[in-house]
Amino acid sequence: MILPKKGDPVIVQNITGRYGRLHTRLMLDYGTNVAAGATPGKGGQTVEGVPVYDTVADAVGKSGAKTSVCFVPAEFTLPAGVEALEAGVKLLVIITEHVPVRDELKLVQLAQSKGATIIGPNCPGIIIPAQKVKLGIMPAPSFTPGGVALYSRSGTLTYEIAGQLTAAGYGQSLAVGIGGDPINGSTSIEWMDFVQGMPETKAVVTVGEIGGDAEERLARHISRSGYRKPIVAYVAGRHAPKEKKMGHAGAIIYGNVGTADSKIKALNEAGVRVAMTPMEVPALVKKALA
């Protein structure tokens, strides 16, 4: 997994759409080098001074970008993702929600075969404050450079907890919205292992939610791997009723599987400090770093 650094070129797919235009401007304002965009049939135009090409291959060829942010509608996300990966994109950030699970599986398999990483779908993206890199829709004022790596299944909680950390004086080395779908392009375990190798990361905050067994699997991984950095967790949805979807396609409990209690218990047993509210996260980070 290779993340862009300050000044590295980035492309935006469907840059001419409403959300593509808006977030291209916000990414540029933050300092991200959006060097090209791609929208079929729109080649030759510019968006916020960024040249637009008809194909991802042309955008990559002209800009040298290895990173793409995808704002393509759900029904076109599979071909758009395939086009990006075939063009040599190594980090594909898919903001789009309601992508069919079958399409997500195909994209994940292709990315693995290409040695590429997908963030999302149904996610806010990633932000690396010290590098002035923002890929996606995260609100920049919530984030500041620092030593806490934050990754989350919930977009809104990413911003909220980042804001709580920032207000308490704990900046972020990076923040990643993994995505709220049952199939994620990259997993919490993969991000946990990645930030293990970041010397600037002094502590990790992971934000989970009800549904699935991602947090239980993460807890087992932490126990088995002898993870060295202090970890703080928060699990959203403690009061959600069983067998009712709560916002995300992956946030659904069946019987005793995927409950907040089971996730909190597993994380505690792995030595992870678990906050009961988002506001408690900074205090637990302070204790973890003491």
CATH class of 9-119: alpha beta
Q: 136 pairs with which residues across the strands?
A: 125
**CATH code of the domain made up of 139-289:** 3.40.50.261
> How do the domains of the chain map onto residue ranges?
9-119, 139-289
The reply to whether domains 9-119 and 139-289 share a CATH topology is yes
Predicted TM-score (pTM) of this structure: 0.91
Q: At what angle do helices 101-114 and 74-86 cross, to 10 degrees?
A: 10
All residues at 6 or more sequence positions from 288 whose CB lies less than 8 Å from its CB, including other chains: 203, 230, 231, 232, 273
Known catalytic membership, residue 248: yes
pLDDT truncated to tens, each residue of the chain (290 aa)?
Answer: 889 999 999 999 999 999 999 999 999 999 999 999 999 999 999 999 999 999 999 999 999 999 999 999 999 999 999 999 999 999 999 999 999 999 999 999 999 999 999 999 999 999 999 999 999 999 999 999 999 999 998 888 999 999 999 999 999 999 999 998 888 999 989 999 999 999 999 999 999 887 778 889 999 999 888 888 999 999 986 655 555 554 554 444 445 556 888 898 999 999 999 999 999 999 999 999 98
Of 23, 221, 239, 248, which residue is the catalytic one? 248
